[in-house]
Amino acid sequence: MQRYFVSKDQIHHDQIVMTGDDYHHMVRVMRMREGDAVICCNENGKAALCEIVRISSENMMLRIIKWIEEQTELPIRIYIAHGLPKGDKFELVIQKGTELGAFAFIPFLAARSVVKWEAKKADKKLERWRKIAKEAAEQAHRTRIPDIYQPMSMEPFIEFARTLDYRMVAYEEEAKQGEAAALRKVLRQMKPGQSMLVLFGPEGGLAEHEITKLQENGFFTCGLGPRILRTETAPLYVLAAASYEWELR
């Protein structure tokens, strides 16, 4: 069943008003009609079974039939921080990471990032990333859309990291040395509702001085198996490992 996320402004008692892109998708793409049913998720992560009761040239009115219980979110909150990579790699990480259950994404302004963040294009870029996360969350039948943060440089990033329970950085030197226990150990000792931030470098990896700075501020380095993964693959490895540890046992 098709799923959509709605804001509190769209909900009026037992009715929901659909406009904009979602209205266009329902009418023009999905060819929905009065009487069809969809799932709507509110900003609190609650899902409702809804029926289309009226379609006009500008909007669509839905009636909430009943609120339903769902559990499609990871029991732990995983924040994916990523040194800005080239091209559309970060978009891929957001799309697939959302499908795999990431709680939030943080673009990190790494020393070796080839891509430089342009303030004048920031709003448009963030809007695109958030749209990708929304569509992926709908496709994956999630009950919340992952947060997409403004890009962070080292100092603000460290300050933010202190608000979370666990802080890790994927480091290829650990992988080369055969380290495989740190990530597994953290995932197994976490409790439901706790948070973990994992930082991944861009194509050239994180610089030595960045690793040192992070370690000095409570970050643990971890390897991701014996193979060296591409920058866009590594976050998905961590999320898959978390899902295996928490959802398939």
Domain ranges of the chain: 3-68, 77-247
Closest among 86, 235, 226 to 168, alpha carbons compared: 235
Q: Look up the pTM and report it.
A: 0.91
Please, what's the b/e burial string for 54-85 (b: 16 or more CB within 10 A of its CB; e: otherwise)? ebeeeebbbeeeeeeeeeeebebbbbbbbbbb
d(CA 75, CA 154): 28
What pLDDT shows up at residue 98? 98
Starting from the edge strand earliest in sequence, which strands make up the sheet with 60-68, in order?
3-5, 37-41, 47-55, 60-68, 15-18, 11-12
Segment 75-127, tens digit of pLDDT = 999 999 999 999 899 999 999 999 999 999 999 999 998 887 887 788 899 99
What pLDDT shows up at residue 176? 54
Residues of the chain with pLDDT under 50: none
Which class in CATH covers the domain with range 3-68? mainly beta
d(CA 217, CA 215): 5
Nearest 5°: phi and psi at 144?
A: -145, 155
CATH of domain 77-247: 3.40.1280.10
